């Protein structure tokens, strides 16, 4: 008995040590990036355009491009993922076809983002003729985002107890009405959590966008709201260097005199945005779950 307790304490101590080491490494990386970058972050830095060969540039256009590209990507990918998740959870039968679909989703979710970017470059940029644009980047990120988002929605729907479905059918609702009026609303906290987490993943993506959205950030006329105009911020046919691509470009080209400061500040902003997505997802999910359980 003493040996069993001693072995249990040793195993517990090893697990705590490994967990503490992982947390310490992550905390060190985050603090290192934030301490180096936050002193360079200001309102002017967040709103002014970048400068390639002069000091004092900001990340205003790149930050806007990242947010706009995220919105377009989610507009495209969320309805598709929701439909696929509902089908796999509520309608698909267990056979070789659904097994093949789930296997394909697993394979797609494990693809490196650079492979998705090269695929987008060959198909969207060259074959379809969209060029380096927000549309090419959003479609490439949709391919990158669909597997994980679909799996998250499917698991969120499957987590709803079968008695909820039986209650809806017993009240005379059709299968589709049961899904849309009972199952999906009950699974909403998990679905929203997955959406926000995938948004953070998209926001920090760089490799797939280098080959699709481009590596330049043309000046934008925010008074021009014509989506067909290339200078309009709402255009989906213009090149759009995002924040993550901008960081990569600064560190590879080295044309900015204050490149280290701009890179550090942009990295800190990117880290804070991703942290905000993650903590926001947890807070919103918990709040919705408590609200739904209390009612």
Q: Domain of residue 159: give its range.
A: 41-294
The total of structural domains in the chain comes to 1
Domain for residue 22, yes or no?
no
The CATH number given to whatever domain includes residue 144 is 1.10.3720.10
Domain assignment of residue 28, yes or no: no
C-alpha angle 265-271-273 in degrees, rounded to nearest 5: 105
Q: For residue 27, is it within any domain? A: no
Examine residue 214 and state whether it is found in any structural domain, yes or no: yes
Cα–Cα distance between 118 and 124 in angstroms, integer? 10
Convert the pLDDT of each residue in 111-138 to its tens digit.
Answer: 888 888 898 999 999 999 888 999 999 9
The tens digit of pLDDT for each residue in 125-180 reads 999 988 899 999 999 999 888 888 888 898 889 888 888 888 888 888 888 888 88
Tokens linked to 256 = 């900015």
Residue 175 lies in a domain: yes
The reply to whether 114 falls in a domain is yes
205: confidence class by pLDDT, cuts 50, 70, 90:
confident
- What's the pLDDT band for 75 if we cut at 50, 70, 90? very high
Which residues have CB under 8 Å from 10's CB, separation 6+?
A: none
In a domain, 254, yes or no: yes
pLDDT band, very low/low/confident/very high, at 20 (cuts 50, 70, 90): very high
Q: Decide if 246 is inside a domain.
A: yes
Region for 129 from its dihedrals, namely left if φ exceeds 0, alpha if ψ lies in -120 to 50, beta otherwise: left
């Amino acid at each position: 008995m003493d040996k069993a307790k001693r072995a249990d304490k040793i195993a517990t101590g090893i697990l705590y040590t490994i967990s503490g080491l992982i947390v310490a490494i992550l905390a060190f990386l985050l603090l290192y990036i934030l301490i180096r970058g936050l002193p360079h972050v200001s309102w002017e830095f967040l709103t002014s355009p970048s400068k390639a060969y002069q000091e004092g540039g900001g990340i205003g256009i790149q930050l806007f491009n990242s947010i706009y590209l995220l919105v377009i990507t989610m507009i495209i990918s969320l309805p598709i993922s929701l439909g696929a998740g509902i089908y796999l959870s509520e309608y698909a039968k267990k056979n070789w076809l659904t097994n093949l679909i789930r296997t394909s989703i697993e394979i797609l979710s494990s693809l490196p983002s650079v492979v998705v970017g090269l695929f987008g470059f060959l198909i969207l940029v060259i074959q379809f003729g969209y060029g380096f644009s927000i549309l090419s980047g959003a479609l490439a990120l949709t391919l990158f985002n669909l597997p994980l988002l679909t799996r998250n929605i499917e698991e969120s729907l499957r987590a709803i107890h079968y008695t909820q479905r039986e209650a809806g059918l017993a009240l005379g609702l059709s299968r589709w009405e049961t899904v849309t009026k009972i199952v999906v609303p009950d699974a909403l906290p998990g679905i929203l959590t997955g959406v926000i987490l995938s948004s953070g993943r998209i926001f920090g993506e760089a490799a797939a966008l280098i080959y699709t959205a481009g590596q330049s950030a043309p000046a934008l006329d925010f008074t021009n709201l014509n989506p067909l105009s290339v200078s309009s911020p709402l255009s989906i046919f213009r090149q759009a260097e995002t924040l993550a691509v901008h960081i990569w470009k600064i560190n590879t080209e080295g044309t900015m005199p204050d490149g280290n400061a701009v890179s550090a500040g942009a990295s800190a902003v990117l880290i804070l945005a991703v942290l905000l997505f993650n903590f926001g997802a947890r807070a919103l999910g918990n709040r919705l779950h408590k609200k739904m359980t209390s009612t």
